[in-house]
Homo-oligomer: A and B are copies of this chain.
Amino acid sequence: MAAGAFAAGRATAADGEAPPAARDAFAFRGPHQSGIVTPAQDRLHFAAFDVTTGSRAQLVALLKAWTEAADRMMRGLPAGEIGPVEGSSLLPPDDTGEAIGLPASGLTITFGFGPTLFRDEQGRDRFGLAERQPSALHTLPHFPGDMLDPARSHGDLCVQACADDPQVAVHAIRNLARIGFGTVAVRWSQLGFGRTSTTSTSQSTPRNLFGFKDGTANVKAEEPDALDEHIWVAPEDVSGGAAWLAGGSYLVTRRINMRIETWDRQPLGDQEAFVGRTKGSGAPLSGGEEFTEPDFSMPGSDGPVIAQDAHVRVVHPDFHGGARMLRRGYNFVDGTDSLGGLNAGLFFIAFVRDPDTHFTPIQTAMAKSDAMMEYLKVTGSAVFAVPPGIGDGEYVGQALFEQQ
């Protein structure tokens, strides 16, 4: 998604302030949804919704309204045509106002459909969509170490809002929830205060709350062949009823609590051995710099320099048929846990072509044999099918609802 060049800024307060510059606005419409290969923004508000209506028509109406509002907000405009303060004093505004005066701030809004939108837990077809459920769209298996909180897992729909200003990301989710009142309810939501991934070679690699660079080996926007091979759903992946998903992707979220107090008491050398990289530069322990490929066979004083249970080895594409992901995770701190530690960690987000081949095997290996697992506790999990982008006049998910 290249940066768009929109002339319109967000409607401003009624006091005559000039509209903000329309910088950092990305296009909502295109062959793929925004917020995937878009250079990862600094802040996240992610929400999963449950559909509370049984009416397919209401669900479609919501997706149309969400499309319109998302397109507007990504341009830096209010969520609705009237705006936060310009309308009748007798009516609720069609924008909540906390983003008045703020620019688009690189906002992207990305929509996904969960397995339960197609079939409920009893297998019933909720909206006449069961025949169109992609075979790879199913609840992830239980992994060792999962301690999932149902109130932080799953969902019928998801919206990922990323922006450089958290007020803009929160404003987007809040207004979409407002628009959905009576049709959907927020099932869970998650703020991320700092990105832990880079999705473009133009970005530097940030650090997670273990203090290590994260996402070094990510698939990036500048790798079109890798995107086609690992991220975008190909037409041949989704025959028959699921054809609507071609050009889309799958989104996996994992809320990974870090036992940071315990981690902080580990020697530096042990931390680096768990990760398989140096803490400073992020270079593999086999040498070089951050982007040097690890040499897993290099001998050390006691086995290989990069241990058998080092994170970088356990999840490396060399041991998973070359499978790679596009990660878009964020650091989070959600107050305090019951033991007087910070409730903190990594809200993992990955986009993959097929969770069964590109996520589950890697996660299984990690859960079984990654040294880092001793310091992790997975408290939330979800998977969504991310429909492809849309053209003018279309709404998000139109192909799902209207394909012949």
Contact = CB atoms under 8 A, between A and B. Distances in A.
B272 A89 contact: yes
Interface residues on A, range: 35 or more
A342 B208 contact: no
Q: Report copies per complex.
A: 2
Given A85-B280, A178-B261, A283-B15, A193 B166 contact: yes
Interface stretch (A69-77, A114-122, A327-335): A327-335
Given A13-B280, A100-B280, A342 B84 contact: no
Contacts of A295: none
B92 A189 contact: no
B89 A269 contact: yes
B261 A177 contact: yes
A97 B14 contact: no
A207 interface: yes
A281 B13 contact: yes
Contacts of A281: 13-15
B178 A85 contact: no
A357 interface: no
B268 A85 contact: yes
A43 interface: yes
A394 to B, nearest CB: 28
A269 B45 CA distance: 29
Interface stretch (A57-65, A180-188, A229-237): A180-188
A98 B207 contact: yes
A292 to B, nearest CB: 11
A267 interface: yes
A174 B96 CA distance: 34
B190 A335 contact: yes
Interface in A158-177: 165-167, 170, 173-174, 177
A262 B341 CA distance: 34
B89 A178 contact: no
A61 B136 CA distance: 57
B186 A336 contact: yes
Contact of A212 (B50, B97, B209, B264): B97
A194 B102 CA distance: 12
Contact of A93 (B174, B268, B331): B268
Nearest to A263: B96
A211 interface: yes
19 contacts: A13-B280, A13-B282, A14-B278, A45-B333, A85-B279, A88-B268, A89-B272, A92-B265, A93-B211, A98-B209, A166-B194, A170-B193, A170-B209, A170-B344, A173-B342, A178-B264, A189-B333, A189-B335, A193-B193
Given A92-B268, A174-B264, A334-B335, 10 more contacts: A15-B289, A50-B340, A90-B269, A92-B264, A98-B209, A100-B280, A170-B194, A170-B209, A174-B209, A186-B340
